[in-house]
Chain A
Amino acid sequence: MDLERRLKQIKEFFAQNGHKLDPKTGQMIKELCSLCEELYAQASIDFLTGLYNRRFFEKELEINVEKAKRDRSVFSLILIDLDHFKKVNDQYGHLVGDEVLKKVAEIIKKNVRKIDVPARYGGEEFAIILPATGSEGALAVARRLKHNINEILFGPKDNPFHLTASMGVATYRPLSGLSAEEFLKKVDKLLYQAKEAGRNCIITDQEEFVLQREQEGITYEEREALKGVWQYDD
């Protein structure tokens, strides 16, 4: 449920019908409403999906950037956007749309570790911070998520549909000196490129060969070449 929207509806209803109540009860309900608003403002959870909300995500992103700079460590960020989500809302209605978001959130929750920070970043946009994870690890998570989202059937049983997702994946490297905001912009750009490239794909900040290098410590070729060091003839 979209809590913010619902709160607004209740307040509007109360503004119109509040005078029918006795003053004491009216005052209590008013207080209850503002307490709810305050709690909502302090919340770190997105009420519809149970993921972290955008505010919490942005704070975490800044903490992770600071930590990476200090520890000279890396972390990765995945941005996910559901393709043609607007069509779902238009064709099936908002309730089905909300169900889709919940299901995708479930998939995300199932596929991340406890230390990761999965968040609902916007309407149909999700973000995952993967601490202490390089590009290869992040890409593996993104691929798994994409596959699982593609697999699942959404919507009513008699008229189900498939969905795809576009993703931007990047690894934060302290040597880049980027701020949290700049890094987020960079990954957002990758997500945009994924959309531009025809959706249903993952775009990373890495050339393929870089990925390969990270995946392996020493390659087979290097190992063979090193043999020359101790097998030389003079």
Chain B
Amino acid sequence: MMISITSGKGGVGKTSLAVNLALALSPEYKVLLVDADLGLANVDIMLSIAPKVTVKHVLLEGRSIREAVVEGGYGFHVLPAASGVVELVQPDSDMKGALELGLNELASSYDLLLFDTGAGISPAVLWFNCLAGYTIVVFTPEPTSITDAYALIKVLYRDYGQKNFLLVANQASQKEGEQYFLHLKKVIDSYLGANPIFLGAIPKDPALAQSIRSQKPLLAYHRETKAAKAILEIAEKIKSFIPVTRKNSLLSNS
């Protein structure tokens, strides 16, 4: 099972959501968080880990993909990316082939692979999004973010065959987010025919910004804040998309 987290516009909170979702789901599921922004890694920074082997060593130096997998520190595993490696920004077809093979192999030992992609509609982003069974699109209530989210959904739906979109409104109250979603869904329904699902909204929360600065996931220590509760609710909804064969659960292994 693979789910991607993506956005049309950058800086809308993808990585923060990815890290917290991985944490929220990991007691119940065996989760691998894949830093899918291959050349500009972020997940390692959010988790304050310093991986020695990254996807760079796998794709450019022929190391096995399992060698690169590390503990995230909060119950889930991480496949880290490289920082500032230009060759990885647009992987060529050989790299994509190797990566797809490796990810499929990893998928067999996890309940969920969560891709934290880069923003935009670059070929690498589109590639990860169509590898995933579901695409979570994060947007904030700004015209640019909403327009870019729509453009991304349009390209993925029309040209790349992705049909399953899960939407998250960041920096919006639940009511606001729902309104935005309903209006956006109307446009998507009438012009594209895709049928997006609303996962929820994450309200502005100083605790979230603080958690990013301290390089610790919000859910690791502040489960009672507004944003933390919202993310937990989103995680609950995502569970319904994960197949129930939890043979790989960490709990059953321990």
Contact = CB atoms under 8 A, between A and B. Distances in A.
A230 interface: yes
Nearest to A70: B93
A229 B123 contact: no
Interface stretch (B154-162, B196-204, B236-244): B154-162
A73 B96 CA distance: 12
Contacts of B147: 218, 223, 226
B143 A230 contact: yes
Interface of A: 67, 70-74, 175, 213-214, 217-219, 221-223, 225-230, 232, 234
B187 A70 contact: no
A60 B141 CA distance: 47
B161 A175 contact: yes
Of A71, A227, A228, A229, chain B has the most CB atoms within 10 Å of the CB of A229
B158 A218 contact: no
B191 A225 contact: yes
Contacts of A226: 143, 146-147, 150, 184, 187
A230 B180 contact: yes
Contacts of A67: 93
B179 A232 contact: yes
A222 B184 CA distance: 11
Contacts of B160: 72
B186 A228 contact: yes
Given A217-B155, A228-B186, A229-B187, 7 more contacts: A67-B93, A70-B93, A213-B158, A222-B191, A227-B143, A230-B180, A232-B179
Interface SS of chain B? helix
Contact of B187 (A71, A213, A222): A222
Contacts of A72: 126-127, 130, 160
A230 B150 CA distance: 13
A160 B154 CA distance: 51
Contacts of B194: none
Contacts of A234: 179
B183 A228 contact: yes
Contacts of B126: 72
Contacts of A70: 93, 96-97
B201 to A, nearest CB: 14
A104 B187 CA distance: 47
Interface of B: 93, 96-97, 123, 126-127, 130, 141-143, 146-147, 150-151, 154-155, 158-161, 179-180, 183-184, 186-187, 190-191
B180 A217 contact: no
B142 A71 contact: no
Given A175-B161, A218-B154, A222-B150, A71 B191 contact: no
Contact of B191 (A221, A227, A228): A221
5 contacts: A71-B96, A218-B147, A222-B150, A226-B150, A230-B143
Question: What 8 A-B pairs are tightest by C-beta distance, nearest first?
Answer: A229-B183, A225-B187, A71-B93, A70-B93, A175-B161, A229-B184, A229-B146, A222-B191
A228 B187 CA distance: 9
Contacts of A214: 159
A226 B187 CA distance: 7
A226 B141 CA distance: 12
Nearest to B154: A218
A230 B160 CA distance: 27
Contact of A232 (B154, B161, B183, B191): B183
A234 B143 CA distance: 18
A219 B154 CA distance: 11
A229 B180 contact: yes
B117 to A, nearest CB: 14
A222 B147 CA distance: 9
Contact of A218 (B127, B151, B180): B151
A150 to B, nearest CB: 32
A217 B151 contact: yes
Contacts of A228: 183, 186-187
A67 B191 CA distance: 31
Contacts of B184: 226, 229
A71 B151 CA distance: 21
